[in-house]
């Protein structure tokens, strides 16, 4: 289905959206490389132990078991990474899809988890008291939340926790990102490139509460 | 050869350490830069094998900090990234740069190469 906002959305997806997709893909690739590296070392260890056993050394069954458990653990880890990637990749399909703001925020937090960990930051997503569901472009919304997190990462000291709280409000929905130590009245100029275009395409606004150190995304969308 | 392995992926670094130990290397490992520096204060190493991307302190930053403790220490970098920028950074700063998952025989050959006088 097409609507009037589509040309703008296409432009934004071709610019900021492509950069966003690239960053997420690179991060996921890195995580999968780590999973493969662990599987590779455990497979190699089994080979080493088998070689030693052929030459008469005793093998500790517990060690074999621990190596096998690593295979299961890493396969489950990779499965989780791929599920997130699949949800994310399919979000490009829908220009006007149904969005559960908590689920979408949790997905972005998962995708950004490794980058947060690199900065020694923790991401927490609080479920709203009632589900916040509306129609809109999930990819562009994910992109804007990601850019807000990129800003928050640079403005928050290592060891901090960023709290993401979706909620309903009178005119639609809000997403608060709290715990940004360095949030001040220059935040608009510090938001990454592409933020303005995304806000226009989303029909959204962003403000800050310097007292509570929260960035607040306002979505004046029709709730389901 | 005494080797210091540093990587924030604990399951990776512990298993690699075990495999290198089976091959006769004396290996210590750390998952945090802070712990790696503490080990380098206590022990003399021939070589450090460092992950490029770690929480807080990058492999390149850790290299500089380790060199302040042991100036003759040799380095090999490991990474999950395969970007050209990373390759350029790693190659210019170390004896070798390997992309995960690694082949242990290649790693060992590079380790011997790195410590050659």
Same domain, A195 and A178: yes
- Residue B30 CA to residue B50 CA, distance in Å, equals 10
Asked if residue A135 and residue A25 are part of one domain, the reply reads no
* Exposure letters A194-222 (e unless 16+ CB within 10 A, then b): bbebbbebbebebebeeeebbbbbbbebe
In a domain, A1, yes or no: no
| pLDDT score, position B106 | 95
User: Model confidence over A162-216: pLDDT tens digits?
Assistant: 999 999 987 789 999 999 998 988 887 888 878 888 888 888 899 999 989 999 9
What pLDDT was estimated at residue B84?
A: 58
Token pair 């409000």 is at which residue?
A169
Residue-level length of chain B: 117
| Most confident segment among A31-40, A212-221, B49-58 | A31-40
Q: Is the four-CA dihedral A191, A192, A196, A202 of positive or negative sign?
A: negative
Q: What percent of chain B has pLDDT over 90?
A: 75
In this complex, do A158 and B56 lie within 8 Å of one another by their Cβ atoms? Answer: yes
C-alpha to C-alpha distance for A141 and A16, rounded to whole angstroms: 12
Do both A195 and A143 map to the same domain? yes
Q: Which domain holds residue A109?
A: 95-219
Tell me the C-alpha distance between A8 and A23, whole Å.
22
Nearest residue of A to residue B20 by CA position? A45
- Is A224 inside any structural domain? no
Task: Please tell me the class of the B2-114 domain.
Answer: alpha beta
Residue A17 lies in a domain: yes
Based on the domain organization, do A26 and A82 belong to the same domain? Answer: yes
**Cβ pairs bridging A and B (under 8 Å):** 66
Give chain A's mean pLDDT.
Answer: 89
Single out the residue in A90, A107, A138 at which a domain terminates: A90
The alpha carbon of residue B93 and the mean position of all alpha carbons in its chain are separated, in whole angstroms, by: 12
pTM of structure: 0.86
Write out residues 155-174 of A within 8 Å (CB-CB) of B: 158
B53 touches chain A (CB under 8 A): yes
**Could you tell me if A26 lies within 8 Å of chain B, comparing CB atoms?**
yes
Chain-chain contact of B100 with A74 (C-beta, under 8 angstroms) = no
Shared-domain flag, residues A18 and A57: yes
Contacts of B83 in chain A (CB under 8 A): 26
Q: Residue A72 is part of a domain; what is its CATH number?
A: 1.20.5
What are the structure tokens assigned to A129, written together? Answer: 């008291």
Cα distances from A217 to residues A24, A141, A194, in angstroms, run 21, 10, 15
Do A102 and A180 fall within a single domain? yes
Shortest CA distance to B53 belongs to which of B17, B12, B25, B22? B12
Instruction: Sketch the domain layout of chain B as residue ranges.
Output: 2-114
User: What's the CA gap between A6 and B76, in Å, rounded?
Assistant: 49
Beta carbons of A36 and B101 less than 8 Å apart: yes
The whole-angstrom separation of Cα A155 and Cα B46 is 39
Question: Are residue A79 and residue A111 in the same domain, yes or no?
Answer: no
Can you give the CATH number for the domain in which A172 is found? 3.30.565.10
Residue B80 vs residues A182, B51, B64, B86, B93: alpha-carbon distances, Å: 31, 8, 21, 10, 17
Complex confidence, ipTM: 0.89
What pLDDT is recorded for position A2? 43
Regarding whether A21 and A47 lie in a shared domain, the answer is yes
Q: How many Cβ atoms are within 10 Å of A20's Cβ, its own excluded?
A: 25
Which residues between 19 and 48 in chain B have a beta carbon less than 8 angstroms from any beta carbon of chain A? 19, 22
Same-domain status, A136 and A173: yes
Domain total in chain A: 2
Of A90, A108, A139, which one is at a domain's C-terminal end? Answer: A90
Q: Measured between CA atoms, how close is B15 to chain A, in angstroms?
A: 6
Does the pLDDT at position B42 exceed 90?
Answer: yes
Q: Are residues A80 and A163 in the same domain?
A: no
Does A42 sit within 8 Å of B15, measured CB to CB?
Answer: yes
Question: Which residue in A31, A97, A91 sits closest to B100, CA to CA?
Answer: A31
Residue A108 has pLDDT above 60, yes or no: yes
> What is residue A184's predicted lDDT score, i.e. its pLDDT?
86
Residue that finishes a domain, picked among A90, A118, A152: A90
Q: Which tens digits make up the pLDDT trace of B50-98?
A: 998 888 888 999 999 999 999 999 999 998 876 656 666 656 655 688 9
């Amino acid at each position: 289905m097409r609507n009037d906002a589509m040309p703008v959305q296409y432009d934004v997806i071709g610019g900021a959206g492509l950069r966003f997709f690239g960053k997420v893909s690179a991060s996921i690739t890195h995580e999968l490389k780590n999973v493969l590296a662990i599987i590779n070392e455990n497979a190699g260890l089994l080979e080493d132990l088998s070689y030693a056993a052929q030459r008469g050394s005793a093998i500790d069954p517990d060690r074999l078991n621990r190596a096998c458990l690593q295979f299961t653990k890493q396969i489950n880890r990779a499965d989780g990474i791929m599920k997130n990637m699949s949800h994310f990749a399919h979000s490009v399909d829908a220009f006007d899809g149904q969005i559960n703001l908590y689920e979408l925020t949790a997905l972005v937090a998962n995708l950004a988890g490794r980058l947060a960990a690199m900065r020694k930051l923790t991401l927490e997503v609080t479920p709203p008291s009632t589900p916040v569901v509306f129609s809109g472009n999930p990819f562009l919304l994910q992109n804007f939340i990601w850019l807000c997190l990129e800003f928050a990462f640079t403005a928050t000291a290592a060891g901090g926790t960023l709290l993401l709280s979706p909620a309903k409000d009178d005119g639609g929905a809000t997403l608060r990102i709290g715990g940004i130590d360095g949030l001040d009245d220059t935040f608009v100029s510090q938001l990454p490139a592409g933020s303005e275009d995304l806000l226009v395409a989303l029909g959204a606004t962003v403000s800050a509460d310097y007292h509570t150190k929260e960035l607040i995304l306002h979505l004046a969308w029709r709730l389901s | 050869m005494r080797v210091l392995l540093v990587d924030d992926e604990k399951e990776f670094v512990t298993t690699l350490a075990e495999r290198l130990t089976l091959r006769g290397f004396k290996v210590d490992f750390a998952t945090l830069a802070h712990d790696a520096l503490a080990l380098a204060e206590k022990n003399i190493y021939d070589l450090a094998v460092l992950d490029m991307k770690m929480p807080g302190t990058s492999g390149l930053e850790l290299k500089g900090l380790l060199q302040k403790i042991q100036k003759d220490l040799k380095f090999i970098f490991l990474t999950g990234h395969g970007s050209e920028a990373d390759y350029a950074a790693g190659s210019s700063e170390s004896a070798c740069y390997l992309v995960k998952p690694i082949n242990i025989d290649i790693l060992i050959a590079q380790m011997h190469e790195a410590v050659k006088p």
